[in-house]
Chain A
Amino acid sequence: MTFSCIICFPLLGALILGILALNESSTDRSQSGTAIAGTIGTLALVGAFIAALVSFFQLMHGEPTIDQTLFTWIALADLKIDFALRLDHLSGIFSLVITGVGALIHLFSVGYMKNDATPFRYFAYLNLFCFMMLVLVLGSSLPVVFLGWEGVGLCSYLLIAYWFQDPSKAMAGQKAFIMNRIGDVGFLLGAFLLFKIFGTFELAGIQEQATSISGPIVTAAALLLFIACTGKSAQFPLFTWLPDAMAGPTPVSALIHAATMVTSGIYLMARLSNVFLASPIAMATVALVGFLTAVIAATAALAQNDIKKVLAYSTVSQLGLMFMACGVGAFDAAVFHVVTHAFFKALMFLGAGSVIHAMHEEQDITRMGGLKAKLPITFATFAAGWLAIIGMPPFAGFFSKDEILWKLVSSQYGGWLYWSGGAVVAALTAIYMTRLFILTFLGKTRAEKKTFSSAHEGPWTMALPLLLLAILSTIGGFLGVPHSSWIEHWLSLPSAGSVLSGNLEWVLMAVSTVVGIGFAFYGYSRVKTGPEKSNSGFLKNAWGIDTFYTNGVVVWISRSAQSLDRFFEEAVLSRFVNGMGTLAQVSGGAFRTLSSGSLQSYSLIFALALAVVLGVVGYGWIK
């Protein structure tokens, strides 16, 4: 029973808040609304977190899985799809992150959104998102996962376009939904193909049977699922929605676009790792796409001045790193990085929110600086996040990033090429994050005097989540200490074999740490000479891929539709039917009477129709 509470609390919260949202007045800006809505929303998540924790302890006491079938969803003849949930070691980790980080972000929102006009709507969406995200990770079969998969896309849309009065924000939401939907179609087709191969939608069944299969059909299935993952996890070529998604409220970016939803792709690959491991082509594709994404996004992050855009591209880049890990068969390392990344990236997004809050909606880091003095808590906690992401020992990112880098070289699918790719990404990460950190917090301020002098920390509801996430970002890495990794042991996911000896790991760890710190200093020294104003457009626009879509693909589809409309629809079909019409008019006047006729003639026809029916039915009945 406790188990199903994990999803029931957020759903209940979403329903209550949603009903209240229908009647909330958008003109009455009393702050008590946010307090009430925030309390309901946060309590729902805290409840879910406790339920997840209790269930997780049951797993730790030896139960391999906890299963619960809530009801039968789709049943027809032999096909039976239950709305069933399954908690195992993998979904247990994800549930804790979603509900734990989720609860903190709900709490943060109470302070951050206190002047918002429609807090009930906001928290209803947020709770609904958590419900869908939990369904995604807890669903025991592909259709149930798909409900969560599309559901989080919907909630992401609703929250990005939360301030829908602004057309660009509404557009950003739509873009996210549609790019996600491209992935969703890959999911559906992949699911159908898997059903064709294995005769089941059950995740466990597919994972089990996939070890004994190979060939092009499983490659096709893996690649279709991979398309789904690229959409949800913002990978090349479907990553361009994520930077635009920053249009949503900042806590939303922290929750959905950093800690949870965008990690769904990694979850799905880890969940069906055997399907991927069965196809070397799919594995190579995953690794290469991950690498490409990580590099494009990291270079793009170098050139952004919007604090949220830097973090957004950083997220894309880090997800690319996790995809690389999956591509070499290190699913456990990828999941480990999902966890630590959730801590430090959520922390930095919330920190950015705190900065934006203090600076009256200013997001341009070239107009910040010196905030260390004004926002000591934000500064200190953000520093923990910064140290974690650049891989400074012993912060969380150090362990998980190094685990990935080690697997990139040691796995049978890996090699030095992958390792150098990962090291480049790590170096770039150190540069852009250091730049961000310095421009925001250190040096002399470049902000307007009035804005700067009035900047101050938010209420405790904002400070507490920052502190807790900072602690997690500091110590979270000890979940996966090399050679005695708890998380690796806990997950025990199928993985590729190792081809290198363990001793090299220590060497590489030292190398990558030096690289990280070295490039952080390099970034530090570059920034000191003054912020560069002329950011290259190529990097800033993430290699022009988005421009290619809007000016290329979208225009092309639109033109094709236009020419279909002009040529086929109008010229061919209409002319054909009109020709038919002329023919009919020539051949008889009946239709003309109908189309120009009076009410009497219609009534006559009506009576005739009635007569036909009564004739057929009535006559036979009487007889």
Chain B
Amino acid sequence: MAGSSEILFLLLAPWGLGLALLFLPARFQQYFANLAAVIYTISAGKNIASVLFAHGSSQVSSSHLTIDAWSSLGWAPLFVLDGVSAAFILMSGLVALVAISAGGGWVRNNAKLFTVSSFATLGLVNGAFLARDTLVFYLFFEAVLIPAFLMLGVLGKPGKGTAALRFMLMSFAGSFAMLASMIGLGWAAFHLNGDFNLSIDAVAVAVQNLDPQLQLLLLGGFLLAFAVKLPLVPFHSWLPDTYTLAPTGGTIWMSSVLSKLGAYGFVRIVLPIFPDAMHQAQAPLMFLSAISVVYAALLAMKQTDAKRMLAYSSISHLGFVALGAFAGGTEGATGALFLALAHSFSSAGLFAAQSFSLDHGVFSAGRSLRVMTFLLLLAGVALPLSANFVGEFLVLKAAFAVSPFAGAIAALGVILGAVYMFTFYRTRYYGAALGSGSSAKLLPMQWLSLAPCFVVLLYFGVQPSGLLNLLGGVLDAALVSTR
């Protein structure tokens, strides 16, 4: 099991830190949790770098961990740390820092629950990102709902009960469909290999031998689960209330990290397992994604509540992610994941900035907050030199090459996105009241929340190639091997 200690670290360290926070005083939870997040992210970064660049920076390598406790059953869960999982794990670590710094004000009464849930989420998503086995992925994918549910159900604003119920129901409905598909996959794999090897590679081979109709049916289960998670219209109706009523930190977790499990699932689970069925379903799926972009953007325009507007904008942007994933190919899939990562930071930053403007009970924003909000908003509308632009550019390019029609519809979202984002900014941050009156300065903790988002978005907007090729190299190999 040499070389796999890094994977174990990523799987277990968040739990250790979560446990430690449980025993630390509630009073300074935010500081402890912040410290924990920083320490975790730095050491995770070191671990990941030592794996990926073990043979110098020119050749990217990966690390595997197989757990063979159940090998007698033929089930040997496989975890792989490669460029793609590494990127999502590091993103989650940074988002933890952002969420904990931002979520402070709201969760003061129950700080421990929030911080511990945060680290539990981190531990669980790491598992999902590392899993190269469908069953293991499924377990983590499901378990992540629990801390999210805690953040919403306990710490949310009034009305959270219904929202939480709806969130749970829709997620479970999707998950059951996925479970049913997985049972089908298990059966197919067992039929072919005589064991319960559910690793993605093994399952992909098994699927090749199935009847095309059956492939489509099994694909449907996975698609439904990820379409609810992302979400795609019309599977999104859990989201607006959930994002609006959850505490800011919880909203950041959900929009920046949990939704990415859907994007990750489309690209890393669905595309390699069902290449043929995906090809068949490509046109309607791309059309649905494009509709999702425009529909959510139109609704975002109608929102008066800023948080709700950002919630719909999140759906709209993730429609682009789905579009890229369904367009496929190296550019489509890489663009989708790159955009998903960029969206994590622009969305987290905007949710955080939005909550800071209401810190004093009424709306107020000093110059730093106005400037930071505007800069994050520019990433939100995918202006060139933001990471979001790179992702959206690749996605639209790939989509346009496959289906100019779907690409053109989705491109309308680029216009509508500018409408709702700039209306949001104009109606709140412009106008007589804000002339020079607001002199409130950002607190250090708030800088800790906004600055990382900005730095990441700008850096990867100017220098995206390294990350693109890291993602693209892995995806390219996966897409080729299944063809």
Give chain A's interface residues, CB within 8 Å of chain B.
22, 26-27, 71-77, 79, 117, 143, 146-147, 150-151, 154, 157, 161, 164-167, 170-171, 173-174, 177-178, 181-182, 184-185, 188-189, 192-193, 195-196, 557-558, 560-562, 564-565, 568-569, 573-574, 576-578, 580-581, 584, 591, 594-596, 599, 602, 605-606, 609-610, 612-614, 616-621, 623
Contact = CB atoms under 8 A, between A and B. Distances in A.
B106 interface: no
Interface stretch (B198-206, B272-280, B377-385, B450-458): B377-385
A22 B384 CA distance: 23
B248 to A, nearest CB: 20
Interface in B272-320: 295, 298-299, 301-302
Given A591-B165, A613-B15, A73 B465 contact: yes
A606 B150 contact: yes
| In the complex, the 9 A-B pairs of residues with the closest C-beta atoms, listed nearest first | A620-B67, A147-B384, A75-B465, A170-B430, A561-B298, A192-B400, A620-B69, A164-B430, A573-B237
A616 B463 CA distance: 39
B367 interface: yes
B12 interface: yes
Contacts of B412: 185
Given A165-B431, A577-B169, A595-B164, 6 more contacts: A74-B465, A188-B411, A189-B407, A561-B301, A606-B147, A621-B8
A188 B396 CA distance: 9
A26 B161 contact: no
A184 B411 CA distance: 10
B210 interface: no
A192 B401 contact: yes
A121 to B, nearest CB: 10
B54 interface: no
Contacts of B411: 185, 188-189
Contacts of A177: 418, 422
20 contacts: A73-B465, A76-B469, A79-B331, A143-B393, A165-B435, A167-B430, A173-B426, A189-B400, A192-B407, A193-B400, A558-B302, A565-B299, A580-B173, A595-B164, A606-B150, A610-B120, A612-B143, A613-B123, A619-B67, A620-B70
Interface in B313-334: 330-331, 334
A157 B127 CA distance: 45
Contacts of B430: 161, 164-165, 167, 170
B120 A184 contact: no
A612 B426 CA distance: 48
Interface in B148-202: 149-150, 153-154, 161, 164-166, 168-170, 173
Interface string B393-406: 11011001100100
A77 B418 CA distance: 31
A77 B166 contact: no
Contacts of B371: 22
Nearest to A592: B165
A578 B149 CA distance: 18
Question: In the complex, which of the residues B70, B237, B299, B393 has the most CB atoms of chain A within 10 Å of its own CB atom?
Answer: B237
A584 B169 CA distance: 8
A181 B414 contact: yes
Nearest to B401: A196
A73 B412 CA distance: 25
Interface string B446-478: 000000000000000011110011001000100
Interface of B: 1, 8, 11-12, 15, 67-70, 77, 113, 116-117, 120, 123-124, 127, 136, 139-140, 143, 146-147, 149-150, 153-154, 161, 164-166, 168-170, 173, 234, 237-238, 295, 298-299, 301-302, 330-331, 334, 367-368, 371, 378, 383-385, 390, 393-394, 396-397, 400-401, 404, 407-408, 411-412, 414-415, 418-419, 422-423, 426, 429-432, 434-436, 462-465, 468-469, 472, 476
B153 A594 contact: yes
A119 to B, nearest CB: 15
Given A73-B462, A623-B69, A616 B124 contact: no
A564 B422 contact: no
B407 A178 contact: no
A26 B419 contact: no
B112 to A, nearest CB: 11
Contacts of A605: 146, 150
Contacts of B113: 599, 602
Nearest to B414: A185
A610 B154 CA distance: 19
Contacts of B330: 76-77
A623 B69 CA distance: 6
A101 B390 CA distance: 33
A382 B45 CA distance: 64
A619 B8 CA distance: 12
Given A167-B431, A580-B173, A610 B15 contact: yes
B390 A616 contact: no
A444 B150 CA distance: 78
A192 B136 CA distance: 40
Contacts of A171: 426
Given A154-B383, A609-B120, A192 B127 contact: no
A562 B469 CA distance: 43
Contact of B418 (A22, A147, A181, A196): A181
A561 B299 contact: yes
B169 A581 contact: yes
Given A74-B465, A147-B385, A558 B169 contact: no
A616 B123 contact: no
A609 B154 contact: no
A76 B472 contact: yes
Contacts of A75: 465, 468-469
Given A22-B367, A610-B15, A613-B11, A76 B422 contact: no
Contact of A165 (B11, B124, B432): B432
Contacts of A581: 165-166, 169
A26 B435 CA distance: 9
Nearest to A623: B69
Contacts of A170: 426, 430-431
Given A146-B384, A192-B400, A192-B401, A602 B154 contact: yes
A178 B417 CA distance: 10
Contacts of B150: 602, 605-606
A617 B434 contact: no
Nearest to B465: A75
B68 A620 contact: yes
Given A22-B367, A189-B400, A616 B302 contact: no
Question: In the complex, which of the residues B408, B419, B422 has the most CB atoms of chain A within 10 Å of its own CB atom?
Answer: B422
Nearest to B400: A192
B397 A192 contact: yes
Contacts of A146: 384
Nearest to A143: B393
Contacts of B295: 564
Question: In the complex, which of the residues B15, B123, B384, B432 has the most CB atoms of chain A within 10 Å of its own CB atom?
Answer: B384
Given A77-B330, A581-B166, A596 B418 contact: no
B169 A609 contact: no
Given A26-B436, A561-B301, A581-B169, A609 B124 contact: yes
Given A193-B400, A561-B299, A76 B394 contact: yes
Contacts of A623: 68-69
Contacts of A564: 295, 298-299
Contact of B127 (A557, A573, A613): A613
A167 B418 CA distance: 18
Nearest to A76: B468
A488 to B, nearest CB: 34
Contact of A599 (B154, B238, B463): B154
B235 to A, nearest CB: 9
B298 A189 contact: no
A193 B146 contact: no
Contacts of B476: 77
A15 to B, nearest CB: 13
Nearest to A158: B374
